[in-house]
Chain A
Amino acid sequence: MKKYWRSLSELKGNLKVESEPEFSITGIPEDEVKGTGKTNRRDFLKLLGFGVGYATLAASCETPVNKAIPYLIKPDDITPGIANYYASTFFDGNDYCSILVKTREGRPIKLEGNELSGLTQGGTSARVQASVLNLYDSARFLPDYRFDNADLIVGFNADFLGNWISPIEFTKQYSKKRKLDKSNPGMSKHVQFESTMTLTGSNADYRIPIKPSDEGALLVELYNNIAAKAGKETLSGGKAIVNIDSLADELWAKKGKSLVVCGTNNSNNQYLVNAINQLLENYGKTVDINSPLLHKLSNDSEVKAIVDEMNAGKVSAMFFYNVNPAYNYPETSKFVEGIKKVALTVSFASTKDETSKLCKYILPDNNYLESWGDAEPKTGLYSLVQPTIQKLFDTRQAQDGLLKWIGADKGYYSYLQNYWETEIYPKQNTLTDFNSFWNKSLHDGVFETTNGLSIFEFNFEGIADAAKNVKNTGSGLELVIYENIGIGNGTYANNPWLQELPDPVSKVCWDNYLAVSYNYANEKGLELGDLVNVNGKFELPVLIQPGQADETVAIAMGYGRTNAGLAADNVGQNAFTLINNTGKNKSYAISDVKIEKVVGNHKLALTQEYHTMHGRDLIRETTLDEYVKNPSAGNEAHLHAEEHSVTLYPKPEFKGHHWGLAIDLNACTGCSACVIACQAENNVPVIGRDEVINRRIMHWMRIDRYYSEHAENPDVLYMPIMCQHCDNAPCENVCPVAATPHSDEGLNQMAYNRCIGTRYCMNNCPYRVRRFNWYQFTNNEKYSFTDDINLSKMVLNPDVLVRTRGVVEKCTLCVQRIQEGKLNAKKENRLLRDGEIKPACLQSCAADAIIFGDLNDKESNIAKAYDNERNYHLLEELHTLPSVGYFTKVKNKTKDDFIA
């Protein structure tokens, strides 16, 4: 293991002097902090000039690091204690996000969304947030969708808010249509047909559980219904598994403003859905083919053909970049056999994985935060990847390797620049010299063009065949293999933050499980954690999933890895081996799966053990028609509490700022990006499965998920909960050593160094938001879940204290960011602007569900939010006077059930 550097000064001693410099000297001028829209550009060679005085620099490639020496001369652009932000792109082969990388003393420690991106507009997801940790780890032609133009959304097994194609972008769009404007109250209606309870399905107004084998026939039925209205031929093969007549009527009524999407990996089903959208005149409005999405363009049959060729001995050399077939190719053994017959196998994996283990050569790629690159997630939208830290290990960017082998005389950086100069720079005409264009693009991270209208004609020719070929019979128990929010396809299985992220729906972490329906469990006598054997392949614990369609079960992919690292290895089971790879498209829905109960029970780590509100008025909800009649619908208790609010003492006054937060429960989808963002920002430790089972998870932000009473197809509600910063805090009163007083700006403070750990405050908090360091969770090998604890500590945020054993901690409303914001405003001699300070949770939210600001500023969004009739405070009848507000959840459903 190479020694890695911890500060720029150490770096200076370790810099390799090569013939092709990794980073060039550019002339980007000095800039201020992100808030004013400018960033600093770090220049290593410029620093090198300063560092020449350090004798440690040698001409040879490797220079031993002697000591970390603090700066004698401060480099121009780096001020210890102030963060530098760099625009870059997150693209891991699956998900795309335009990001700003926050670095401190030369280390990336946090990723924020880039608001300049027209696509993701500042949003992020849990995986994006967590990917910063991976840096420190010792591994077709799709249309784009416009959910913000759709009044009626119908999803068929499409988890578009969680994992399908471009979830960050879709969440941003979707939430725009879920927020309510009192003067013009309207919101989209979302109907979801699916087998297992996905994040998207849990947010739907109406959710209908169906079997995977039912989807095709239902799609044909819907097509026929719409086709009849459009005067087109109907097809055979349709079956009204569920009566969709009224849905079809509504879709027809909302022509051009509706959207039907399907997430099933079957071209016939997709064809049908596209045809339906065409008939509904959605193309060009909610289906955007002008700038199609460019993710996930792989071709299943082609991959199958390659594996066959490998086994036939026809392949002499293979290079693996951003793929891991030894883990996730369905017929793993076939692949493993085949690769033995390939003479030259090279893996570019940046972290060890199952495939690299089988390769002859491993040439580790840089982590994306150390790399140059670009991406075009959607036609016309370009973004750049730039390194934000000097390579931590002896890796090389894969593209540099390839260029070297073809004998090119320049490195990837020049190649990239050249490409941009010739292909992309000409697409604009505001900047007249390439260097300025290049610098601006690097700085912004994105360059977006608008495409001209493309002429598009829908071809209905194959539709009858497609209808015939949809899978409309299934037998026995049907298994759905899906991606969950945290682990996804398994690339991030070795990321402990993601392993410990409780699944938004099931609240399980550190494991996958067999999700079964309530009825199935009763029938088979299955309880939580009971072990079952799946198709003779492996054993999994059972989880009873309310809303799981009867006669279906589900397993999340991405687990059961064997060569990924400490956090991933042997956690859960590998569901990729169950995928049906016989057809033209890989099928993630499998018929006739054999489930057999075996002896034993595996305790699943759940962060929540009681799943209904027990009749308590915690998440207040109403329906759209009630809201239109009366904006206070569902929120009568708030008026009651305000009226009857009595106090023995005078209400505390806040003369300067009074910080407040509000969460729009209509916008929040439960995606949990905020949970990880908070963890990254505030150095929240990971504790491992056993301690989670002991109900000691450390997340400062948690998302409560409640089901309504019917277990077969419940309503699902989410509520993100963090410290409520009560002005009448019950926790403050009981601390004997005054470790948790109230600030004069309305924050409940937590003085870690004063806390002696009596835990009285934890008992007295009715929201249960306080966390205790039961063991030494930080700076402790036992709880690092990474192979090199010193390396993983580099992700820590130096603005936030790391807590020791025996101390209580909780959300601080990112007080370090508040202070930073105030200081910046002070330095610039101006007032703070509303929305300038963004706590980590707010910043990461793709749905823009969180509002934060100064309640004393009558014009601020937060002050207006508190005046909203939908606003209430959790447990307000206890008179804790919280500084966090919630907007009632308004569902676009009538009191009647959908199927009526």
Chain B
Amino acid sequence: MYDVKVRGSLIEGNKSYHQISEDISKPVESRAPNWWFIAMSISTVMLIAGIWAGFVTISQGIGTWGLNNSVAWGWGIINFVWWIGIGHAGTAFSIFLLILRQKWRTSINRAAEAMTVFAVISAGIFPMIHMGRIWLAFYIMPYPNSRGPLWVNFNSPLFWDVVAISTYLMASATFWYVGMIPDFATIRDRAKKTGNVVREFVYDLLSFGWDGSTRTWLRFETLAAILGGLTAPLVISVHSIVSMDFATSIMPGWHTTIFPPYFVIGAIFSGFGMVLTLMIIIRKLYKFQDYVTKGHLDAIGRILTFISLIMATAYITEIFIAWYSGSEYEFFTFFKNRITGDYYWAFYAMFICNAVIPQLFWIKKIRSNITIVFIISIFINIGMWFERYVIVITSLSKDYLPSAWADYSPTFVEVMLYVGTIGLFLVGVLGFFKFIPMFASSEIKGILKPTTDSND
């Protein structure tokens, strides 16, 4: 078991329980700092740009995108997978680390889960908007009808996506929300004391009548464990299912059994990267250095190094198998259309950002320099975006019949749609910062002192 002292103490500053309540409730109770308003405005503008792009897409047609009869999926699906990948961090944090009893997760899991929820919502926009006839989207639901009754195609990975992602969103949101209930109760009680009627009303509603009863706590913990235990397999299965969109297809470069684990690991990679980005911002701007310590950041950095090695292994495996398989189409896709060829720039962006740059974390000096860590965390997500770009575009653009080979470049509408989802994510996260306690204060209080139960 770890020695707490090696990584630094879990919470610094010798806090009392009341102090924790104070610290964590403060952002909710005080006026948002100026930078928050600026950031919120920018994010709203981005969101509006996205709404415009969505409106143009739905009213005029997918023709407003840069797709064609050979490359029928582009930025829409790349961004979809990118967002879902990012969304896996929250669940990975909360659940895996819960199961592995890593107590240090408690400072981060709430924000990570928030990130998950907003990332999955942003992701979910893309499968909807990329449909040619979104107004008939309900056809995907198997409900009794008078057309046969015609049901759906259970073999289709897109249907699996619908089921998996809605389940994931529901489970994550539930798990996230349920965890917040005790903290909402804290704020409610504080609001009552200070006489803030509006806040008391709102958080009273949100806290579902929570009173801190141990009987309820027991069931609450059990529920959390159950939800955690159920959501954990979702981390693996959801992104495996998303990977099946490609793996079950016969396109060269897509048709490979490595995709489910490859995608899941990649998702955790990008998710952790995004968590790192956000946590560094939070601790700086809200002065939460005591809760998110250098030790936390160090731990995440090490995990990222490890995962980056796995990513490198996965890339090399793919390339090796493309050659070893003897399939001329696979060979062409990897060696002539990724490593070299029209899209080499995307391939190298992916490889360098994902497999090379995070290796810098081996160096302790780099790992402790928060600014560099922040920059590297951004590179990780850029690299993961390029990974999806390479997968989607290179395989579709040059597949089996050269007569059908065609290039793709996104249009302004597609780019604005992406910008819009970033805006949506930021609006959500910023709202989270303001209106929801960023840390699970009840959990943090729980780990403040080592207990006889701890396996830490």
Majority SS at the chain B contact face = loop
A611 vs B403: C-alpha distance when bound (angstroms): 7
Does B67 lie at the interface of the complex (its beta carbon under 8 Å from any beta carbon of A)?
yes
Contact pick for A614, options B66, B69, B402, CB 8 Å: B402
Mark the stretch among B7-15, B221-229, B244-252 that contacts chain A. B244-252
Given contacts A734-B249, A736-B140, A738-B151, contact A768 B404 (CB under 8 A): yes
Of A730, A738, A758, A764, chain B has the most CB atoms within 10 Å of the CB of A758
A684 vs B362: C-alpha distance when bound (angstroms): 60
Majority SS at the chain A contact face = loop
Of B60, B62, B69, B249, chain A has the most CB atoms within 10 Å of the CB of B69
Does A766 lie at the interface of the complex (its beta carbon under 8 Å from any beta carbon of B)?
yes
Contact with A along B401-418 (1 / 0, CB 8 A): 111111000000000000
Contacting residues, chain A, for B155 (C-beta < 8 A): 733-734
Q: Which residues of B from 390 to 435 have beta carbons under 8 Å from A?
A: 396, 399-406
Interface footprint category on B: 35 or more
Q: Is the CB of B140 within 8 A of A756?
A: yes
Does A322 lie at the interface of the complex (its beta carbon under 8 Å from any beta carbon of B)?
no
Q: Is the CB of A766 within 8 A of B152?
A: no
Interface footprint category on A: 35 or more
Q: Is the CB of B402 within 8 A of A736?
A: no
Q: Is the CB of A695 within 8 A of B69?
A: yes
Contacting residues, chain B, for A768 (C-beta < 8 A): 69-70, 399-401, 404
Given contacts A608-B403, A759-B132, A763-B73, contact A736 B60 (CB under 8 A): no
Does B137 lie at the interface of the complex (its beta carbon under 8 Å from any beta carbon of A)?
yes
Does B369 lie at the interface of the complex (its beta carbon under 8 Å from any beta carbon of A)?
no
Q: Is the CB of A735 within 8 A of B156?
A: yes
Contacting residues, chain B, for A697 (C-beta < 8 A): 69
Q: How many A-B residue pairs have CB under 8 A?
A: 157
Given contacts A737-B140, A756-B136, contact A616 B328 (CB under 8 A): yes
Does A615 lie at the interface of the complex (its beta carbon under 8 Å from any beta carbon of B)?
yes
A763 vs B73: C-alpha distance when bound (angstroms): 8
Mark the stretch among A265-273, A380-388, A395-403, A771-779 that contacts chain B. A771-779
Given contacts A734-B157, A736-B156, contact A757 B69 (CB under 8 A): no
Contacting residues, chain A, for B159 (C-beta < 8 A): 736
Q: How far is the CB of B203 from chain A (nearest CB, A)?
A: 41
A757 vs B134: C-alpha distance when bound (angstroms): 8
Does A69 lie at the interface of the complex (its beta carbon under 8 Å from any beta carbon of B)?
no
Does B72 lie at the interface of the complex (its beta carbon under 8 Å from any beta carbon of A)?
yes
Q: Is the CB of B132 within 8 A of A758?
A: yes
Contacting residues, chain A, for B139 (C-beta < 8 A): 737, 754, 756
Residue of A nearest to B332 (CB): A614
Contact with B along A861-885 (1 / 0, CB 8 A): 0000000000000010010100000
Does B153 lie at the interface of the complex (its beta carbon under 8 Å from any beta carbon of A)?
yes
A764 vs B400: C-alpha distance when bound (angstroms): 11
Does B48 lie at the interface of the complex (its beta carbon under 8 Å from any beta carbon of A)?
no
Q: Which residues of B from 80 to 130 have beta carbons under 8 Å from A?
A: 127, 130
Q: How far is the CB of A535 from chain B (nearest CB, A)?
A: 35
Does A613 lie at the interface of the complex (its beta carbon under 8 Å from any beta carbon of B)?
yes
Does B68 lie at the interface of the complex (its beta carbon under 8 Å from any beta carbon of A)?
yes
Q: Which residues of B from 140 to 160 have beta carbons under 8 Å from A?
A: 140, 150-153, 155-159
Q: How far is the CB of B3 from chain A (nearest CB, A)?
A: 52
Q: Which residues of B from 319 to 342 have beta carbons under 8 Å from A?
A: 328-329, 332
A402 vs B402: C-alpha distance when bound (angstroms): 56
A754 vs B130: C-alpha distance when bound (angstroms): 16
Q: Is the CB of B402 within 8 A of A758?
A: no
Residue of B nearest to A613 (CB): B402
Q: Which residues of A from 687 to 707 have beta carbons under 8 Å from B?
A: 691, 694-697, 702, 704-706
Q: Is the CB of B332 within 8 A of A695?
A: no
Contact with B along A599-628 (1 / 0, CB 8 A): 000000000111111111010000000000
Q: How far is the CB of A72 from chain B (nearest CB, A)?
A: 33
**Contacts A696-B68, A736-B140 given; 19 further ones with Cβ under 8 A?**
A610-B403, A613-B402, A616-B329, A616-B401, A695-B70, A696-B63, A702-B403, A704-B403, A733-B153, A736-B159, A737-B139, A738-B152, A757-B131, A758-B127, A759-B72, A759-B130, A763-B73, A763-B251, A775-B63
A-B contacts, 9 listed (Cβ < 8 Å): A736-B162, A738-B152, A755-B133, A757-B133, A764-B251, A766-B250, A772-B69, A772-B132, A774-B62
